[in-house]
Amino acid sequence: MLGTAPDLAWEGCREVALASGPWWPFADVAVMSERPTLLRLNAQGQLHSDDGPAVTWPDGKQVWARDGAVTEARP
């Protein structure tokens, strides 16, 4: 309800949302990802790197891409 103070459950959800990376909400579930440690984009905002991964996550997973097209994914 508008005008009421957020409860502890809301504060927990807010903290998770602020700490997470990309996320996708669906009707019954939300898929959330860690923030990447490396994210390279071209001028159009597409994943892009000529000489390495375009995205790297803290666990070491990588995605290589050029002009938004994924060329390789490494576990």
Dist CA 38 CA 65 (whole Å): 13
Residues 24 and 42 in one domain: no
**57-72: pLDDT as tens digits:** 999 999 999 999 999 9
Residues 45 and 71 in one domain: yes
Residues 29 and 41 in one domain: no
Residues 48 and 67 in one domain: yes
Does the predicted model carry a pTM greater than 0.85?
no
Domain of 48, in residue numbers:
36-75
Residue 1 has pLDDT above 60, yes or no: no
Residues 4 and 19 in one domain: yes
* Total domain count, the chain: 2
Residues 54 and 68 in one domain: yes
Query: What is the pLDDT, as a whole number, of residue 17?
Result: 78
Residues 72 and 62 in one domain: yes
**30-58: pLDDT as tens digits:** 888 889 999 999 999 999 999 999 999 99
Could you give the C-alpha distances from 61 to 10, 11, 44, 58, in angstroms and in order?
31, 30, 24, 7
